[in-house]
Structure 1
Amino acid sequence: MKIGIDASRANELKKTGTEWYAYQLIQEFKKIADPNDQFILYTKEPLREDLSVLPPNFRNRVLRWPPQYLWTQIRLSWEMIFRKPDLLFVPAHTIPLIHPKKTVTTLHDVGFERFHELYSKARIGYRPSLTKVLINALIKLLTLGKYGNNEYDYHRFSARFALKHAKKIITVSNFTKKEILDIYGKRGSGKIKVIPNAYNKAEIKQKFTASRTSETLKKYKIESPFLLYIGRLEEKKNITGLIEAFKILITKYNFKGQLVLLGKQGFNFEKTLRVIERYGLDKYVIRPGWVNEEERIILLKSAVVFVFPSFYEGFGIPPLEAMASGVPVVAANSASIPEVTGNAALLVDPHDFKAMAEGINRIMDDPKLRDDFIAAGYRRAEKYSWKSTAEQTLQELKNV
């Protein structure tokens, strides 16, 4: 069987959730795939680093495309016309307009349908701006005015197109499956399969010397104790709410530490920056931006509490990583988060800043409660592995 995989997102240099999902699956597929099956990894550029180390039955097909846009819909579609695999798997992106009958994709969440105001309506793409205008006009023409060239419409189109044309849809939580059925109808329920995400156990188990940890903290001007958030810094992640809770921690509970926001800036983060400035918290809220994986794990293991206040998640990997690292978690009781964390995190209303601050303070102030959550976190994290996720996924692909 010839299985094609869109590896363009897995090959990104600075990965976030869905890119790591694609990367980890491909790495696990290399270990467990039937040697008689052929795997083709489609990318815009040659595979990077350890992703480029391929078994004999894997090969990389670099689909160069002079413009920097519409790679999936034009270049990958072109490939599907002339070199179609038996099955195409798209783990972290939209499926191309032209695709094999056996096409499988992963739909990670549908938050854009529930919270459309938290997604950018600005045109996406590359300079010059005239190009964006032309692409926007072309998309509107082809979709009879239903969609434009922006993040919100991109997600809406991708989900609807996948649900209509994909042979099977994988999603990462029971919550997300329920959301898909509630929003789009139950006609396609038979082709939706839930396979949960996981985290990189080997990476989390790394041990670092005190000097290496100190060096990393010093590099980013971080001092203990500090709270940590990992994820994109955008409105739907409720970063502004976290700042409000942090302010209460300082004023009501006399917290003397820092808040570290680890991730790339996203939609409407300017609103959060204004709140930070208004409260005079600039020197207490540390924003390292994107850091490499070693530094990310060092910061995670060094945090006093990990906070995950998101309004909406299809899954949410960072809380699992925190649990596996022995760091207690305070998280929102919204969307898929309770399903992922179980009873191993202190869950709070993401809209209630006082409750969030109180929860964080309880974890820091009560040693027994802290130890109980740490122990429960270790047990919970053990239930997830990329090996299991990959085995289930590959079985679904083979059975299409």
Structure 2
Amino acid sequence: MIIGIDSSRANKAQKTGTEWYSFFIIQELKKIGVKHQFRLYTNTLLEPALAACPENFEQRVLHWPLKYLWTQKRLSWEMLLHPPDVLFVPAHTIPIFCRAKTVVTIHDVGFAAQPQLYPFHEKLYHRASAWFAVHFADRIICPTEFTKRELIKFYHADPAKIAVIPHGVEVPKNIESTKWNRPYLLYMGRVEQKKNIMNLLEAYALVHMKHQDLRLILAGRLGFGGKECVAWVNSQGLGQSVEFTGSIIEDRKWSLYRGALALVFATLYEGFGLPLLEAQAVGCPVVTSDLPAHREVAQEAAVYVDPASPQSIAQGIERASDPGVAQNLGKLGRLNAANFTWSKTAASTLGVLESLGR
């Protein structure tokens, strides 16, 4: 069977959750997909790690002069002229025209459930892409039972088409040990409105009144509403205690997790929440929103808070900072994260792809 994969997300230099998902799925399929031929479709040459492929993998660079619409237009043209047996799209948007069976991963539908958190043009794009994918893909993968329910609720998706396959986590063998002068809380992800950063900052301000030496590090590039968050920090005189790192490399990401007093991930809506697993995998205590997807992922190894209440988030931080609680969270977190591996994710995904080739 010939399996095509949209590898454009995995090939991005700056990766967040969706891009890492795409990357690790491809890397694991290289190990287990020996019975099939794979085509990796990209708009630029593959980065070195992705380009290192076994003989049954080939790269196809589909050049496109525009910044947008590569999937809808250029990949569509390839699917009409040279279709594989099955096309796997790891992130929401499928080609408009496709002669291959199609499998798509829809990670969340926050743009439908919480539309006020998205810029207008982004909201319209995601809504249209999700609707098209739900109705025209042959199979849909989503990472949690919660996201499956949301797809049925907002898009009337056929439950029989949906496979729930959780994401995984992979910890580097060697994580740089860094000595920090001051203890710090960590947020990992884009700094944007839909991640509830303002309430996190207000919660930190409450905690900082009691613990003047405690810092907050927000590790991720600025997104929609990010500049307003920076301005608020400066207006409150917290500029010396709150750090906006911008995009970070992988080595620093894992070093930050390992050194943090706690990961604070009090977002308003998630389909999964990969930072929860990443933190747990290295024993970092987790404070997170009491959301259905977070409960599925973090299980009992987290302190759950009301994301709408800075006071609740602050209380969660105080609880996770207790040495006894932190130690227990670290232990439970490692045990929980061990259940989520990219090898399991890839094996289940391959099973879905193979089901369409029979």
One-letter identity of the residue aligned with 1:317:
L
Give the corresponding residue for 1:139.
none
Moved >2 Å (runs of 4+):
66-69, 205-209
Q: What is the distance in 2 between the residues matched to 1:351 and 1:185?
A: 29
Q: Is the 8 A contact 1:311 1:335 kept in 2?
A: no
> Who is 2:149 aligned against?
178
Q: Kindly state the Cα deviation for residue 377 of structure 1 after the two structures are TM-superposed.
A: 0.7
Q: Is 1:316 matched with 2:273?
A: yes
Residue-by-residue CA offset, 1:324-344 (whole Å, 9 max, x unaligned): 111111111024111111110
Which residue is equivalent to 1:33? 33
CA-CA distance at 1:50 after TM superposition: 1.0
Larger-gyration structure (1/2): 1
Q: What residue in structure 2 maps to residue 3 of structure 1?
A: 3
Alignment RMSD:
1.3
1:228 alignment counterpart: 186
Distance 1:66 1:107 in 2: 27
CA distance in 2, matches of 1:208, 1:268: 32
Q: Which shifted more, 50-59 or 63-72? A: 63-72
Q: Does 1:91 align with 2:98?
A: no
User: Where does residue 390 of structure 1 map in the other structure?
Assistant: 346
TM-score between the two structures when normalised by the length of structure 1: 0.87
Give the Å deviation of 1:93.
4.1
- The count of corresponding residues between Structure 1 and Structure 2 is 356
CA distance in structure 1 between the aligned counterparts of 2:140 and 2:266, rounded to whole angstroms: 28
Q: Which amino acid aligns with 1:190?
A: A
Aligned to 1:362: 319
Shift in Å at residue 208 of structure 1? 2.8
Deviations along 1:126-148, one digit per CA (max 9) or x if unpaired, are xxxxxxxxxxxxxxxxxxxxxxx
Distance 1:154 1:279 in 2: 36
The 3-state SS of whatever aligns with 1:376 is helix
2:23 corresponds in structure 1 to 23
Q: Distance in 2 between matches of 1:377 and 1:231?
A: 19
CA distances 1:223-265 after superposition (whole Å, capped 9, x unpaired): 42000000111111011111000000012x3342110000011
Per the alignment, residue 142 of structure 1 pairs with none
Higher mean alpha-carbon deviation, 16-25 vs 272-281, is at 272-281
Contact in 2 for aligned 1:88/1:100 (Cα 8 Å): no
Q: Deviations over 1:255-279 (max 9, x none)?
A: 4211000001111123322321221
Corresponding position of 1:332: 289
The answer to whether the Cα contact below 8 Å between 1:2 and 1:38 also exists between their aligned partners in 2 is yes
Write the letter of the residue equivalent to 1:30. Answer: K
Contact 1:312 1:335 in 2 (8 A): no
2:169 matched residue in structure 1: 199
CA contact (8 A) 1:9 1:93 kept: no
| CA distance in 2 between partners of 1:329 and 1:356 (Å) | 12
**CA offsets, 1:112-160, max 9 Å, x none?**
0111111112xxxxxxxxxxxxxxxxxxxxxxxxxxxx21111001110
Separation (CA, whole Å) in 1 of partners of 2:152 and 2:67? 34
Q: Return 5+ residue gaps in structure 1 as ranges.
A: 122-149, 218-222
**Runs of at least 5 residues in structure 2 that lack an aligned partner in the other structure:** none
Shift of residue 206, structure 1, vs aligned partner: 2.2
Indicate whether 1:242 and 2:212 are aligned: no
Q: Superposed, which structure 2 residues align to 1:296-315 within 5 Å?
A: 296-315=253-272
Aligned to 1:379: 335
